Structure formats: structure tokens, C-alpha cells
Structure 1
Amino acid sequence: MEQAEPPVAALSLPGVDSISKLPTEIIASICERLDRRSLHNFKMTSKNLHAKSYKSFFAHHFRQSAFTFTGDGLKRLVQFSKDPNISPEIKVLRLVLVSFPQQGMEHLSKDWDTSDEAMAAIVDVADGEDDSMGARIRQVRRYRKAIRRERRRAYGHYQDDQNHLRRSGHDVDMLAEALRRLPALEEIHTVDIHGVDNPWGRGNIISNIGDMPFTASMLSWIPLKQDTYESRFEVEREMKKTSAHSVGAVLGAIYRSGIKFNGILEFRGVPHNLRFTKWTHCSRLSLSATPARSFSLSMLAEMKDTLSNLKALRISTFCYVDRRYDDDPVEQRDIEWLLQLLERTTGLISLSLIDNGAQSKRTVDLNFVQSMEDRSITFPRLKAFMLIGAECETPVFTRFLEKHKATLRRIHLDHMTFRAKTPLCTPDAGDTFLFVRWSMHNHWRVDGYHAVSTELNDGYAQLNFRETLRNVTCINEALPVD
């Protein structure tokens, strides 16, 4: 009989004794250079290494933690925040926005996923029974129908749970409770794609509905190619509701937690016409589907001390389908919440505004930069600025950059439409400035020059800066904070 392999901790490996005698600080440095699987194997090599790498194991696994923005995901987040080994290690919190549109129920698979389900489907037929092969086929068909029926039932439960979670405000309560217990938290992100890592809470959904849940991004809606326009409208309306509510839920949780958040805040997939109620006593849901008691503009007015030292703000918008029919009224954009948020985050070091609706010919509000100027919104510490998919008047945009030229070091412009009849000025040959040019690839390139021809036309604009400004071409990359 073949002898069973001994556990990893009992193996005698060359060099293990000498490594295990190293100081804990050196072992922690070694653990930082290992991937997740290698760290797990390293920890299981010996009891001494297991003890010395115990803290590094938690730091490596939970430094960046992703959770589905569902009841199960938020409950797991609260559970981790109460664990003294995990809560001090969470520095980056990612909330994966998942949605359950009604049309998704029609695309649930009826195939089994595991070997146990496959064996259960292929049942034994009694000997001597006529048409045994036909009996097996009929049984498999019945089993497939049962699988799909159970998955549709589970999908409906998730739909109800998401609606109840949003309308009751319980998601904001759980998130606020977790934020109070995360002392090392540096970043909060709402994510509309699954990404590489498996977020906490997604495994149960996959086992119950047989597939990954849809995220709030339309990129996850693969069956859309075979669906009608009316179906797409319903899907986008549900995803728009999920993305809109996430903004109010996160801001409401920060407000309720009472923490002073000084890190990085990022929102993905924000609708253009996002609106919140003005007061907490409003009885109806806002157009963001967020209850007034969960978040309202009156709460945002009280968050100046909470967000005054926020380092970076990254907002990515998306143009969802607003109309079912061509003669339906077009929803007007509303960025009042964003302007009020910027008024309370004047300590920003990095500001990124990205519009992913540029491909659908819907861009960021034309008067956005003008609105900031009208409200005298400035950022005395601003070092990095990204603006993608926007339209603005060249003089207004130039004045914005001129106000921040003493601190601004990095800038990224893409898919921009500047409006100006004449060039602003022609600097001396010795000046350092940015030359903004419309390229053949339909995007704006920002290049550094020391001299330029005086033959400028409507398609060009020039911006004066000090010599310390560094050019950054980091398309599709987040700007660094420092």
C-alpha cells in the first residue's frame, strides 16, 4: 500500500532551519516579495516560519480587499472589521457593484458545473427496463429543468435582497460600521468590473445562480448582442440605479462613520444626471434610488471637515440610455452634487474626471470648468490633474490651470474639445509651456516645448507653466497622488 505523503510542515527542507532563525523583520521583508500562493507555502514550511510570518500573511492577503456590494459582501466586510488580525491591515477597500436585471434571469444556464451535479444527473436505470437510454435522457432533461428553476429562484431572491438593502439603508449602516473599525484605510473604490481578484461574497452568488453576477458596467452584459433595444433600456436602467446609489451609499457611510477620510476616493460608472434629495426628512427616494435618510445634500454640506484633507478624487462617468423611445424627453445632466463635493475637498493633490460616454457623443457638462470658476473652487495643493472626454472654453480652462501653476506638476488631457476663436498668446522662445494639439487619432496630446511657431489657429492652444512642470502621458492610468 502506497504511503501517504507527509504534511508540508513535517518535511525537512535544506536551509529551512537557518531561514527560520532569521529575525522577524527580515522574514517580513521576504514575505513582501512573495505572491499569495508562495507566501502560503512559505508559511506552511515550518512552525517557526508560520509564527514569524503570521502577521505578514494577513497584511499580504487583506491589504487590498474587494467585496461585492451586496448583503453577503457587506456582512463579510463587517466581520473582517471586527477581527483584530485583519482590520489593521486593510488599506484599500474595493466595492464591486453587481446588479441583477430582470433580463439576466432569461440567460441563466441549465448546465451543471460540478462533477457531483453531473453524477446526480446521470442516474442509474433499473436492469431490464425498456428503453433504458431514453429513460436516462428524460431524467437528464428533468434535472436540467430543475437546475434552471433553482437558479431562477435564487436570482429572484438576490433581486429582492438588493432592492431591500438599498431602500432600507442597511447597506449604508453596515459600511459605516466597518469604516469605524478600519484605522489603516487609505483608499475607497467603487468598481464596476470584477477584476482579477475574486471579491468576497461573489462565490455564494456563483454557486447559487451558476454564473458570475453582472456588474454595473454594460461591458458585463454579454447577452446584449441578442437582445432588443427595449431590453437594453431595462438593463441599463437597473445598472444605472446601482451605480448611482453607490455614490450616495459611500458618502453617506463616511458621514455616518464620523471618520476623517484623508486618502483616495474613486467612483466608477457615475451617471451624468445623478441627483440626491436636499434634506434628510424627504420621504421619497431620490433619482439616485438612495433614501434621503441614507444620504442627502444636507449631509454633504456638513462634510467639510471630514473630506477637507482628501488626497485624491477620481470620478468616472458613463452615459446610460436615458430614453426608451426617440420622442421621450431627454434627462438633463446634474452635477450639483459634484460641485458641492469639490467645494469640500479643496485639499486635493490629485483630481481625475473621466467621461466614458464620449463614444456615444455625450460628454462631461460643457460648463463644468466654468461652474468651478463661478464658485471660486480652487485647490491650493493640486499637483496632478486629469480631464478626459470634456468640452470647455479655452480661456476658462487656461485660467483654471493658471490658478494652479504654482503647484501643478502633472496633467493629462484626452478626447478634449477646446473652444476658442483666436490663440491666447505667443510666449517667448525661452519660456516653458504646454502645446496642446489635436492629433490624427482624435485625441488631445500634451507635449512639452521650449519654442513654437507663431502660426496658430483655432485648433491649437498654448498654456504657460513654470519649468518644473513634467509632462505625463498616462492614458487609461490613474494619476499618482504625489
Structure 2
Amino acid sequence: MASTDLLSKLPGELIDNICTYLGRGDIHALRTTCATMKEKSHSGFAACHFRTTRVMLTRESLEALIALAKDERFRASIQVLQLCMVIFLASMKFEIDDEVHNQHEREELELACAQAQCHEEAKHPKVEDDRDHHIKQEAVSVTEPVKGLSSQPYSTSKDSRQFQSGIALTEPAGVSSSQLSPTPEGLRRFRRLRRQRYGRHMHSQNTLRTKSIDVELLAEAFRNLPALQSVVITNQLNRDRPPLGLRKVVSEIGMWPVTASLNQSIELPRVYWTDYAANSNEIRASYRRFISHGIAVTCGAILRSKIKLKQSFTVDGASYNFRLSKTPESRKLGPTTTPAKTFAQSQIKELKQAFSDVQNLSFHFHEHRQNDSIPGLQAPFAWFKSFIPLFPSVRTLSLTGETLRERNVSIFSELFTSPDVFPKLEALHISSSQAQLAALVQTLANRERALKRLVVCDGPKTCKWRLSSACESMH
């Protein structure tokens, strides 16, 4: 009987196009049908898993990205790199608990309890009563030895305790918690182990920053990504598709680390902010510095690698104050600032070649709060103005987030009334930001020929205009 398998005879390019309309599970099922389909659907499989690759500013995550970028099977599929701003705060170490979420954590807890029990027995050995000891000796002496077994009497010596503890430490993986109930000391050991691991991640991330190792690792990855078109810096975390290396971190510390979210800090439980209300300003300051550092690391890596982005550049959660050292030779380094050799103000202009072809630009600024201090005399969002000349080809611009209402500062009013700013702009999206009506009218008048779409959104209210109808209503 003739074979009716016509799908595997299709060209590989057509099968790749089919894979673009399939989900992950469907692609995996398709690849298991036969060796031919597995080979022809490889590009679709790689694009499904690695087209958007997520990474953190940790050594393990960046090294995993480098290994992936040097893998000939997948490097050409990576088009979007998403830098998730996962941060290890010192204050979050005390939020680590002893809750168990899976079998692996249950085994670690049982091991900690067994070690605690062994340690407790070593500190307080059992002392038998003399009468009980003589009774045992008499019982053993009148009992005939059994063939194959030792005739030595039972003893609670150190060797026996070590043997018993060895059994406890080598229990099968399926031991239930009912067989080895957690003890207070075992739970303390378990929490201490998790917090020690968290501390190692925190110190490792800080070392990457202070020694500019993170920018070097990211630059090496950029050099090996020939198809990279877009870069996204985000303070959001997708737990279904986490960054490289994050699942291992979660299994080690028993919780999901937070991201530097300046808008609402949705990653933190409400109890955390209640207990640490006195530290909330300090936490937000740490977030602002870390997001600024993430932007600096990304820009420094792009400059070092000499890549050229062609699609989009997105910053989700940008700070209103982005402070950099003036030159790469500056030696002053605060405990939480970005080193000058990572990226400096004098190097911003050198990025124009890398960003000259970017078509889509998106910045999501965080909401300024009344107790947020602005160090120095630098005007809010002045750093964003210095980046505007780097993007002459932008056609779609999206700005989201509150500005400094107390100072009556409006990015929209200051930047877009000039026709020289983003000269090729075709679509402008403004969301949750201040915009004076006069500035809006001036913007429409200056960009009547180029601008095709304007969207202004303030909470649930959204206004959309086509330039032709908008200008007719303005005149």
C-alpha cells in the first residue's frame, strides 16, 4: 500500500512556516512523528524556544547565554534579547522561609532534619541506667548466637550512632515527611541553607557590577548573535518562561526573587511592605540604581560588541534620574553606582551607529512618588533627551508612565514640539503622562506630513487620531 505521508515530503521552508502557527506542544508532537520531520522542523523548533531569549544580570545566566550564542544550532534563531532585572536585595534574605513546594525541597528538608538530629545526639549522648545495662548484658549472655550475625551485645556507642545517622542521611528519595517529622532545629538549618545560597547570589551579582564583569559577559554574547535585532530591558518576570538560570535559583532559595519594579513592586507581598515600611524608600532607591545600571550595562555591551540593532529598543521601568560618570577614566565608585568603565556619559554619542536603524522605541517610566529624592541638580529625564539623537530612524515611539507632577515637568511638551526630534516618526503612543493641549497642537502641526497615528491614553480613557482628521479639527 502506498504511503500517504505527504507532510514530510514538503520543503523545509514550508514546514518552518507551518511551525510559526503552532504552539510549543504541537511543535514537539510534530517532531516526534519521524526523523525527517524532526530535521525539517528544527528551525521552527529553535525559533519557538529561542527567538526571544531571556537573561538576568548574574554570572550563571550570562554564561548560559554565551554558551547558547556559540551553539551553531540555535544562535541564528535569537532575534530578541530580553534582560530581566532580577535583583537580590539584602532585606529580602529575611523573607526566605522553610515552606516546601516540591519533592526536591522535601528531600532537602528531611536531610536538614536528619543532620540536626545527628548533631543533637552527638551533643547529648544517651546515658543508660546501670540496672538496664546489666539486664541487657544478662539477656545477651544467655542467648545463643545466630549463624551469620554478630554475637556482640547491642551498644549505644558512637559507632552505632554514626551507623544510624548514616541510614538517616541515605534514606530513599520517596521518604515522606510523616516518617521524619520536621524539628525546629531542622527547620532552622533548612532556612539557614537557603539564606546562605541567597547571600551567594547577592554577592556574586554585586561583584559582577563593581568589577564590570557583567558588561564584558553580555558583550561577548552580543558578538556571537548575528541575527539579534531587538533588545528589551524589563522589570517584569514571566514565570512560565523565566530567564536562563532562574529555575535553578528558585530551587536553591525556595522562592522567586523580585525584580526591580518601580511602578507597583507587584512581586513583593503586601506583608513585606508593611513590615519594612521604614525601608521602602531605601528599597525603591535600590531599584532605581539597579535599573539604571541595567541600562548602562546594555549600552556598554552594545558599544563594545559593535552590533547594530535594526528593529526595536525597549526599556520597561526606566528611572527618571539616570546618573553616569562623565568619562570612562573616572575612578569614583559608590557602593551602589555603575563603574565608569562600564559606561560613561562621554560614550553616549558613540552609540549612534548601533541605534541608527532602530524602527521602534519604547520607554516605560516609573511613577514618581513624593518621597523619592532627586540627588544632584540634574533635571529629571535629562538623560532621555541625550539619547534622542541616537534614534533618527524611529517610526513608532511609545512613552508610558507618570512624570514629576510636583514639578510640572512634561516630557511630551519639551521634546516633541520641535520637528527635528524623531523626524521620521509615524506613530506616537502617549500613556499616563502629562501633555499640554498647546504642545499637542504644535506637535500635530509640525508633523502633519509624517505622523500617521496618535494615541493618547490616560487610564481607562483612550483617544486615537489619524493625523488628517486630527489636523482638520485643530485648524
TM range, smaller chain: 0.7 to 0.9
Is the 8 Å Cα contact of residues 339 and 372 (structure 1) preserved in structure 2? no
Q: CA deviation at 1:347?
A: 1.4
Q: How many residues align?
A: 407
Cross-structure match for 1:210: 254
Q: SS in structure 1 opposite 2:266?
A: helix
Q: Which has the higher contact order (CA 8 A, sep 6+)?
A: 2
Q: SS in structure 1 opposite 2:327?
A: coil
Cross-structure match for 1:68: 56
Q: CA deviation at 1:314?
A: 0.6
Is the 8 Å Cα contact of residues 444 and 467 (structure 2) preserved in structure 1? no
1:412-453, CA deviations, whole angstroms, 9 ceiling, x for partnerless residues? 1123xxxxxxxxxxxxxxxxxxxxxxxxx78463457999xx
Q: 1:378 to 1:237 in 2, by over 3 A?
A: closer
Cross-structure match for 2:352: 304
User: How far apart, CA to CA, are the structure 2 residues paired with 1:287 and 1:410?
Assistant: 45
Is the 8 Å Cα contact of residues 417 and 446 (structure 2) preserved in structure 1? no
- Say whether 1:253 aligns with 2:304: no
Alignment partner of 1:163 out of 200, 206, 221: 206
Cross-structure match for 1:445: 463
Q: Percent identity?
A: 25
Alignment partner of 2:437 out of 394, 399, 410: 394
Aligned ranges 1:186-197 → 2 under 5 Å: 186-195=229-238, 196-197=240-241
Structure 2 residue runs of 5 or longer lacking an equivalent are 119-155, 157-177
1:321-360, CA deviations, whole angstroms, 9 ceiling, x for partnerless residues? 67489xx9898643222111101212111111111x46x9
TM-score of the aligned structures, taking structure 2 as reference length: 0.76
1:113-170, CA deviations, whole angstroms, 9 ceiling, x for partnerless residues? 33254356568999xx9xxxxx978753332211110111111111111111112111
User: How far apart, CA to CA, are the structure 2 residues paired with 1:102 and 1:44?
Assistant: 46
Aligned ranges 1:360-371 → 2 under 5 Å: 365-366=409-410, 369-371=413-415
Q: 1:368 to 1:288 in 2, by over 3 A?
A: farther
Bigger shift: residues 171-180 or 330-339: 330-339
- Say whether 1:35 aligns with 2:28: no
Q: CA deviation at 1:204?
A: 1.4
Q: Which has the larger helix fraction?
A: 2
Alignment partner of 1:354 out of 394, 400, 419: 400
Q: SS in structure 1 opposite 2:183?
A: helix
Alignment partner of 1:172 out of 211, 215, 220: 215
Q: Which has the larger strand fraction?
A: 1
Q: 1:25 to 1:303 in 2, by over 3 A?
A: closer
Alignment partner of 2:37 out of 28, 43, 49: 49
Cross-structure match for 1:428: none
Cross-structure match for 1:478: none
Q: 1:119 to 1:99 in 2, by over 3 A?
A: closer
Partner amino acid for 1:339?
K
Aligned ranges 1:401-416 → 2 under 5 Å: 401-415=444-458
TM-score of the aligned structures, taking structure 1 as reference length: 0.75
User: Larger Cα Rg: Structure 1 or Structure 2?
Assistant: 2
User: How far apart, CA to CA, are the structure 2 residues paired with 1:464 and 1:288?
Assistant: 52
Q: Please, what is the CA RMSD of the aligned residues? A: 3.4
Is the 8 Å Cα contact of residues 276 and 288 (structure 1) preserved in structure 2? no
Cross-structure match for 1:283: 331
Cross-structure match for 2:66: 78
Alignment partner of 1:110 out of 86, 92, 98: 98
Q: 1:294 to 1:396 in 2, by over 3 A?
A: same
Q: 1:16 to 1:90 in 2, by over 3 A?
A: farther
User: How far apart, CA to CA, are the structure 2 residues paired with 1:450 and 1:59?
Assistant: 40
Partner amino acid for 1:445?
C
1:71-104, CA deviations, whole angstroms, 9 ceiling, x for partnerless residues? 2111111111111111110111111111112221
User: How far apart, CA to CA, are the structure 1 residues paired with 2:415 and 2:11?
Assistant: 57
Partner amino acid for 1:68?
M
User: How far apart, CA to CA, are the structure 2 residues paired with 1:149 and 1:288?
Assistant: 26
Q: CA deviation at 1:21?
A: 3.1
Q: CA deviation at 1:320?
A: 5.8
Is the 8 Å Cα contact of residues 50 and 74 (structure 2) preserved in structure 1? yes
Q: CA deviation at 1:189?
A: 0.5
Q: CA deviation at 1:259?
A: 1.6
Structure 1 residue runs of 5 or longer lacking an equivalent are 1-13, 130-134, 416-440, 452-461, 468-482
Q: CA deviation at 1:285?
A: 3.5
Is the 8 Å Cα contact of residues 277 and 286 (structure 1) preserved in structure 2? no
Q: SS in structure 2 opposite 1:302?
A: helix
User: How far apart, CA to CA, are the structure 2 residues paired with 1:187 and 1:81?
Assistant: 15
Partner amino acid for 1:220?
E
